């Protein structure tokens, strides 16, 4: 239960591989309310489109036996506890402002409470507070002991999950006014913020840098994620880099490794998008702040990483290296490092994704 919000995301996502209905206007407004002020990280997943794609069926069919059994067990437990079936999950939206993240204590409950973050799960039909509590109790059973408690915030019922013996932190949850969106947050303050925005019909737009990067992603991609490195985090990363440089003077081998990381020193943003059709296409872009840095990073990855990836894929799929040409590409465009992976259904099955 040390990472309750990621665990909740993973567990509720188990319900995702099934049909989907259209999102109502009220559900859309609830999702918009989940955008936190000053967001510099976003993740959106349109599971309806994913589930309808041919390649998604290959992922489900060829999943490892142990993974499949675990997933099905958790699905049955959640469905029994909540009455909400796998057909009901439509969209996941997660946004966060990580500007105040302390890299030295990022796993502490107290540090998690400083992050304004909201995970919103849009459902095809309404959920009750009782069902929400039952679902969270099921999640709380899957790990360290925790206390699940009911409460009230802004006149709305809420549920909190707190790890036993830990001060601060936890998971806070509530429902949208129509019951069709679940809000999960790492702090009471974040939950109050999203409920307030929904009540007032006040939604936040992505800040300029996040909106710009997100706007460059394909409208056809069902999974989109963007991280814009905030100034305070860049300063902390630069401090870490300088510390590593000082340490490398005493360790020649470390200096070589550090030189490989040098092109990434000016990283300003990362984006990931995935498109599910007859094939699975995954695209990663990193803005390294300059064309030279992007070219250097691409050359390093083409020399060091690409051969290893192709060898691993060839081993898993039985294909020859020649057959894998074009399935993994590394390059650059302006200041951006670009990595693309294209997998056909048989590749996905052979890799047991």
- pLDDT tens-digit profile of 246-276? 877 777 666 667 778 888 989 999 999 999 9
- 1 within 8 A of 138, measured Cβ to Cβ: no
pTM (two decimals): 0.83
How many other C-beta atoms lie within 10 A of the C-beta of residue 125? 13
CA distance 120 to 333: 34
CA distance 91 to 70: 22
Q: Please, what is the angle between helix 188-200 and helix 25-33, to 10°?
A: 140
For strands 146-153 and 41-46, give the pairing. Answer: unpaired
DSSP-derived 3-state class of residue 105: helix
Max Cα separation, the chain?
Answer: 63
State whether the Cα torsion 97-150-200-44 is positive or negative. Answer: positive
Q: In terms of C-beta density within 10 A (0-12 exposed, 13-18 middle, 19 or more buried), how is residue 303 classed?
A: exposed
At 9 the pLDDT is: 47
How many other C-beta atoms lie within 10 A of the C-beta of residue 225? 19
Paired tokens of 107: 């796993």
The ranges assigned to domains in the chain are: 4-204, 215-351
At 16 the pLDDT is: 42
At 307 the pLDDT is: 85
Q: How far is CA 105 from the centre of its chain?
A: 20
Q: How far is CA 139 from the centre of its chain?
A: 19
CA atoms within 13 A on the CB side of 14: 22
Q: 194-236 pLDDT, tens per residue?
A: 999 999 987 777 888 899 999 999 999 999 999 999 888 888 8
Residues contacting 141, CB < 8 A, separation 6+: none
Ranges of residues in the chain with a pLDDT under 50 are: 1-7, 9-24, 62
At 163 the pLDDT is: 80
């Amino acid at each position: 239960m040390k990472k309750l919000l990621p665990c909740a995301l993973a567990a509720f996502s188990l319900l995702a591989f099934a049909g989907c209905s259209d999102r109502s206007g009220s559900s859309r407004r609830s999702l918009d309310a989940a955008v936190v002020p000053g967001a510099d990280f976003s993740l959106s997943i349109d599971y309806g489109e994913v589930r309808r794609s041919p390649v998604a069926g290959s992922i489900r069919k060829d999943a490892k036996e142990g993974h499949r059994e675990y997933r099905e067990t958790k699905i049955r437990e959640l469905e029994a506890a909540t009455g909400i079936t796998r057909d009901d999950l439509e969209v996941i939206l997660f946004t966060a402002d990580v500007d105040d993240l302390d890299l030295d204590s990022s796993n502490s409950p107290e540090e998690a409470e400083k992050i304004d973050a909201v995970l919103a799960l849009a459902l095809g039909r309404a959920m009750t507070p009782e069902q929400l509590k039952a679902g969270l109790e099921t999640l709380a059973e899957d790990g360290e002991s925790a206390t699940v408690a009911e409460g009230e915030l802004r006149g709305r019922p809420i549920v909190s999950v707190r790890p036993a013996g830990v001060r601060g932190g936890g998971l806070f949850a509530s429902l949208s006014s129509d019951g069709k969106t679940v809000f999960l947050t790492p702090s009471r303050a974040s939950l109050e913020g999203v409920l307030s925005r929904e009540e007032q019909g006040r939604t936040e737009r992505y800040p300029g840098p996040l909106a710009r990067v997100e706007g460059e992603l394909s409208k056809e991609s069902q999974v989109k994620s963007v991280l814009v490195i905030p100034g305070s985090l860049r300063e902390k990363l630069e401090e870490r880099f300088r510390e590593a440089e000082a340490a490398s003077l005493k360790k020649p081998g470390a200096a070589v490794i550090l030189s490989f990381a040098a092109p990434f020193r000016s990283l300003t943003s990362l984006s990931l998008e995935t498109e599910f059709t007859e094939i699975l296409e995954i695209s990663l872009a990193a803005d390294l702040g300059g064309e030279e840095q992007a070219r250097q990073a691409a050359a390093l990855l083409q020399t060091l990483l690409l051969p290893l990836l192709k060898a691993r894929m060839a081993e898993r799929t039985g294909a020859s290296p020649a057959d894998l040409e074009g399935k993994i590409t590394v390059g650059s465009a302006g200041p951006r490092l670009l990595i693309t992976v294209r997998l056909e259904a048989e590749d996905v099955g052979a890799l047991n994704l």
